[in-house]
Amino acid sequence: MAIVLKKGGSFNLSKKEPALKKIMLGLGWEQKAGNQMDLDASVFMLGANGKLVAEEYLVFYNNLKSPDGSVQHTGDNRTGAGDEDDEMILANLSLINAGVNEIKIIISIHDAATRRHHFGLLQDAYIRIVDVENKREVLRYDLDAEFSGNSDVEFGKLQRIDGDWNFVASGLGANGGLQGYVDMYA
């Protein structure tokens, strides 16, 4: 059964799911009539100073793998056509560079400002975390209902605390696009 977290809620992932080694972030969406929306899942791997460890530690549609090999994006999906996960990021927690203290998971809508797109225009848009080994869903957020009016959202963050990974369901909607996060963390 998936853990349902309220915004801002957090839990110790390493203690709650001790067997969890590989996780999959799944992003799915369906278009409503008249809109052609391209959602993107991205991961920012930050050091103790709150900035990207290096540029290549931003994993997104233009950089599919982190230098430590721990995080891999399976490729851009521009339409959301098809059921289930349309865009996926795989992470192997045991391979994460020791210099990475925090991992931010960002969902954004491509070119949202000029196209006036926001999550409320979608149908069945969600982001979820799945335990790769047993296919169990650990966490899920509905994006269309929760973030109508926003074009991007910090879905959650993984924080390394005393060697354990803690997950915080930040659920922070924003409208600066992927570039807004790049400006913050690069």
56: which 2 tokens?
């290549």
- Does position 38 interact with Ca ion (CB under 5 A)? The reply is yes
- Does position 85 interact with Ca ion (CB under 5 A)? The reply is no
- Does position 177 interact with Ca ion (CB under 5 A)? The reply is no
Closest CA to 86 of 153, 141, 26, 145: 26
- Does position 86 interact with Ca ion (CB under 5 A)? The reply is yes
Q: How far apart are CA 55 and CA 62, in angstroms?
A: 12
- Does position 40 interact with Ca ion (CB under 5 A)? The reply is yes
Strands 136-142 and 22-31: unpaired
Rounded to a whole number of angstroms, the minimum distance from the CB of residue 85 to Ca ion is 8
Site for Ca ion in 17-36 (CB under 5 A): 28, 30
Site for Ca ion in 44-83 (CB under 5 A): 76-77, 80
Rounded to a whole number of angstroms, the minimum distance from the CB of residue 79 to Ca ion is 8
State how far Cα 151 lies from the chain centre: 14
Reported in sequence order, the residue ranges of 49-135 that DSSP labels E, i.e. its strands, are 58-59, 71-73, 87-92, 102-109, 122-131
Of 39-47, 98-106, 112-120, 170-178, which segment contacts Ca ion by CB under 5 A? 39-47
Q: How far apart are CA 28 and CA 43, in angstroms?
A: 16
- Does position 102 interact with Ca ion (CB under 5 A)? The reply is no
State which residue, 30 or 68, has the beta carbon closest to Ca ion.
30
Q: What are the two backbone dihedrals, phi and then psi, of residue 56, each rounded to the nearest 5 degrees?
A: -70, -5
Read off the amino acid at residue 14.
S
State which residue, 38 or 152, has the beta carbon closest to Ca ion.
38
Site for Ca ion in 114-173 (CB under 5 A): none
Contact footprint for Ca ion (CB under 5 A): 28, 30, 38, 40, 76-77, 80, 86
